[in-house]
Structure 1
Amino acid sequence: MDLTPTAWQLWIVAALVLGALEIKLSGFVTLWFAVGALASALAAAVGVGIDGQLLLFTLVSAALFAASRTIFKRAFMRSASPMKTGVEAMVGQEAVVTESLAEPHGGTVRINGELWMARSLSGPVAEGERVTVEQVDGLKLWVRRPSASLEVPMQKKERA
C-alpha cells in the first residue's frame, strides 16, 4: 500500500492550514490563498502539471486578494475621512496656556502633553486659560481664545 500523498492532497492540506490561519488571524488575507490552494488541488486532480498548479495558485490568490481589497475599500471606507496626524492634527484642538501669551514674543502652551511656543491671534492671554490652535507655523502655534472672533490681524514682519 502506497502512502505517498499526491499533489492534490498536498494542496488540500495547504488549503486547510491557510483556512485555519485565517480563522486565527481574521484579516481576509490567508483566506484567498486557501481558495487558491483549493483551485490548484482541483487542477492537480485533473492532471495539470506542477507549473500550471503554481501558476493557477498565484493567479487565483492574487486576483481574489486585489478584488477583495477594492470591494472592501469601496464598501466600508467610502465615508471615511483621511486620518490627520502630527502637527496637522493639532489645528482645532484645545491647548492650555502655561506661560502667558503677551506681545511681541508670545509664550508657551501645553497640547497633548507637549509644550509648544505660541503666539496669540486674539490679544494677550493669561496663564491657565484654554485656547484653540488655529495654525502651525514651523515650531510655533498660532492660537486664539475660543470665544474670540475669527478675524486674523495683519501681521508685521519682524526684523532680525
Structure 2
Amino acid sequence: MLRWAKIGKLFSLAIRLGNFSPLGSVWTAQRSQANQANKEVKQTTNDDALGAEHMWIMWLVIAAIFAVVEISTSGFIALWFGIGAGAAALTAALGFGAPAQLVALITVSTALTLSTRRIFLRWLDRPTSIAPAFGDSSLVGKRGIVLKESKGVRSEVELELDGTVWTALPVAGDALAIGEECEVVRIEGNQLYVRATQRAPDWKLTG
C-alpha cells in the first residue's frame, strides 16, 4: 500500500510539473485554442441552421409584399412573383438550400407571367352588362348592336353601346335578333328602351 501511495504522489507531482513546464504550457494553450475553435464552429453551425430554418418565413413576408403591390396596381405581374415567393417558401420548408429556393422563385414566376397574364388581362377587359344611372338621358339617341337576342316576356336584350354591354327593352315589345342595330329612344328610371333601326344581315341572323 505504501508503494502505491508513493507512486500516486509521484504521478501527481509529474502532472503538476508538466503543467508548469514550457512544454506543458504549450500543450495546455493548444488544447484551449482547439476547444475555443470547436465552440466557434458549433456556434456558427447553429446560427446557420437557425437562419435556414426561418428562410421560409422570409419568403412568406416577400410574398405578402408582392400581394400588397398587386392590389395597388392590378397589373398581374407582382401577383405571379408573389406566388413564386410562396413556392420558394415551400422549397425552404422542405429543407432545400438558397439556390433551389431562387430557382423555384424564378421558374414559377416566369412561367405564370408568360402563360396567364394575357388571359387575365383579357378577362378584366371583357364587356359587362350594366344599368344606366337613374334618370340619365345622355344615352338617348345613341345606337348599339344586339349581342343577345330577345328573351323573356318583355323581350329583353343585351346590346353593345359605346363599348359597354347594356340591358334594354324594345319599345314595341318586338323580338330583336343578334346583330340588329338599335337606337336608344328613352330611359325610364334605370331601364333603356330601344327600337330597331336596321335589320341584321341574314348571315348574322342565322349564325
Same fold (TM over 0.5): no
Scaled by the length of structure 1, the TM-score of the pair is 0.42
Scaled by the length of structure 2, the TM-score of the pair is 0.33
Greater relative contact order (CA < 8 Å, ≥ 6 in sequence)? 1
Greater Rg, structure 1 or structure 2? 2
Higher helix share: 2
